[in-house]
């Protein structure tokens, strides 16, 4: 019985290795295809059509064929696929590739509904990724426990500190303005200063 169980485990391990190689090859090819311009984009004839006559698939392919989106997706697929090939990074590669595959599946359901094969192909790939994660479930449980247990703030705060959190979060939400106006000032200092002067004048008039 032990020999039979060992043989089954060995076969299953080989199946998982095969799935890793398959997924790595497929998504690597798709990633490279995006980087070299073989996937997204439409023909000039499609671009000449009125928007109401363009199919969803052509519209999506036109929108996706813009940088840095195309490069981001292509590089992400390549890195995740390469991670699947090495034992040290196989789990990381599967974790990176899973949301990519799910996102592609949702895109296919939304824009490529006429291509029925994709509606079966992507769930199959997603299933293989889930099997890979299940194969390494012992390590996955360690990761889940590390991320969900014993996580708290480094310091304790009084109750009134939590009451101020909405205000603090609101102020923090304005943080993106600092780099934006810094760049604006470097590019056009007089225009930026004039804008703030008008802003202060309007605020003073409103307070009166």
Question: Same structural domain for residues 13 and 99?
Answer: yes
Q: Quote the pLDDT of residue 1.
A: 66
Residue 103 and residue 170 share a domain: no
Number of domains in the chain: 2
Q: For residue 171, say if its preceding peptide bond is cis, omega within 30 degrees of 0.
A: no
The pLDDT assigned to 16 comes to 94
Same domain flag for 131 and 202? no
pLDDT digits (tens, 9 = 90+) for 126-158: 999 999 999 998 888 888 888 888 788 888 899
154 inside domain: no
Token pair belonging to 41 = 């984009």
Are 176 and 74 members of one domain?
no
Q: What is the pLDDT of residue 155?
A: 87
Indicate whether 24 and 102 sit together in one domain: yes
Can you tell me the distance from the alpha carbon of 192 to that of 95, in angstroms, rounded to the nearest whole number?
A: 44
Backbone angles phi, psi at 158, to 5 degrees: -70, 165
109 and 11 co-located in one domain? yes
Shared domain for 167 and 188, answered yes or no, is: yes
Evaluate whether residue 16 is within a structural domain: yes
Mean pLDDT of the region 81-90: 93
Residue 153 lies in a domain: no
Q: What is the mean pLDDT of residues 30-44?
A: 88
* Same domain assignment for residues 143 and 165: no
Please provide the DSSP assignment of 138-205 as one string: HHHHHHHHHHHSS---SS---HHHHHTHHHHHHHHTTTTHHHHHHHHHHH-HHHHHHHHHHHHHHHHH
- Domain range spanning residue 174? 159-207
Q: Which of 128, 148, 168 is the last residue of a domain?
A: 148
pTM of the predicted model as reported, rounded to 2 decimal places: 0.81
How many CB atoms sit inside 10 A of residue 104's CB? 20
Report pLDDT digits (tens) over 51-69.
Answer: 888 888 888 888 888 899 9
């Amino acid at each position: 019985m032990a020999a039979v169980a060992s043989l089954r485990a060995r076969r299953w391990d080989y199946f998982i290795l095969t799935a890793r190689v398959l997924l790595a090859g497929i998504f690597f090819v798709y990633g490279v295809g995006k980087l070299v311009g073989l996937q997204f984009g439409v023909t000039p004839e499609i671009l000449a059509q009125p928007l109401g006559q363009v199919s969803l698939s052509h519209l999506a392919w036109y929108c996706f064929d813009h940088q840095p989106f195309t490069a981001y997706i292509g590089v992400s697929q390549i890195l995740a696929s390469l991670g699947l090939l090495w034992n040290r990074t196989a789990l990381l590669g599967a974790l990176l590739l899973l949301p990519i595959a799910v996102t592609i599946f949702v895109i296919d359901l939304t824009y490529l509904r006429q291509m029925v094969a994709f509606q079966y192909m992507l769930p199959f790939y997603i299933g293989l990724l889930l099997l890979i994660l299940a194969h390494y479930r012992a390590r996955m449980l360690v990761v889940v426990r590390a991320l969900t247990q014993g996580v708290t703030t480094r310091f304790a705060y009084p109750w009134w500190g939590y009451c101020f959190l909405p205000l603090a979060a609101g102020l923090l939400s304005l943080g993106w303005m600092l780099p934006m106006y810094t760049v604006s000032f470097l590019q056009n200092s007089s225009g930026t200063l004039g804008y703030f002067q008008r802003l202060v004048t309007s605020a003073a008039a409103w307070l009166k």
